[in-house]
Amino acid sequence: EDQVTQSPEALRLQEGESSSLNCSYTVSGLRGLFWYRQDPGKGPEFLFTLYSAGEEKEKERLKATLTKKESFLHITAPKPEDSATYLCAVPYGQNFVFGPGTRLSVLP
């Protein structure tokens, strides 16, 4: 089965301190890589889809990039409201395989 790993497992940042989250995958014939944000007690909320190496997507303080074997979610000048678990997923057959997530805490 294809594997999806994420690092770090948890990350604590001060407000304004930029950083990056990593999602690594082993898959043949990538059909997209999806990033989600999950807040406590809620379902995953869709952020981005990336389809090919070199592609980038941006939304507010977030930018997602994709290479042949991994994706990065860059967070620029984060705010406390960016605190959440960030999940990546890749299609496997007709469903998704999720990574374990990175728990991000942004302290004021």
Q: Which residues of the chain form contacts with other proteins (CB under 8 A)?
A: 31-32, 34, 36, 41-46, 49, 87, 89, 91-101
Nearer to other proteins, 3 or 20 (CB): 3
Q: What distance separates the 2 farthest-apart alpha carbons in the chain?
A: 42
| Other CB atoms within 10 Å distance of the CB of residue 43 | 7
Nearer to other proteins, 11 or 78 (CB): 11
CB of 43 to other proteins, least distance (A): 4
**Are the CB atoms for 47 and 32 separated by under 8 Å?**
no
The CA angle 75-79-84, to the nearest 5 degrees, is 70
Nearer to other proteins, 78 or 88 (CB): 88
CB of 15 to other proteins, least distance (A): 28
